Amino acid sequence: MAESRRVERPLSPHLQIYRPQITAISSILTRITGNALILGVFLAVWWLLAAAISQEYFEIADAVVTSWFGDLVFTGSLWAVWYHYLAGLRHLYFDAGRGLDIATAEKLGWACVIGSVVLTAITILLVQ
């Protein structure tokens, strides 16, 4: 019987070789932002429920919502809303059978990331 020789190879794709693609990152970010929006919704619902329960409980919730943590959660939620919206438009474009070539898909991925940051900044500036 022939002997088989074991060849030592790195796992594929090896982290020294693999370069994350914007299309994969964009897809992952779409899922993360969709789930992360839940945190902002929970915080807002808690704040509203606290207002309905009592003045003392509302003061506690309002202190959390208006703190740096609340600002961080709601700013992140705002970015997540814009990103999720732009990614949804991107997927509608893909569903129409357009933009499926690699170059266009990469441009649309970057457009979602950059566009969501720009739209978040514009929204914050307009609200203040």
Dump pLDDT digits (tens) for 23-59. 889 989 989 998 889 999 999 999 999 999 999 999 9
Confidence band, pLDDT 50/70/90 cuts, at residue 9 = low
Residue 19 is predicted with a pLDDT of 78
Q: DSSP string spanning 84-113?
A: HHHHHHHHHHHHTT-S-SHHHHHHHHHHHH
Confidence bin at 12 (pLDDT 50/70/90): low
pTM value surpassing 0.85: no
Nearest alpha-carbon partner for 24 in 79, 87, 89: 87
For the segment 105-120, what is each residue's pLDDT rounded down to a tens digit? 999 999 999 999 999 9
Give domain 22-127's CATH architecture. Up-down Bundle (1.20)
How far is CA 97 from its chain centroid?
A: 24
Q: How far apart are CA 73 and CA 85, in angstroms?
A: 18
Mean pLDDT, the chain, rounded, equals 91
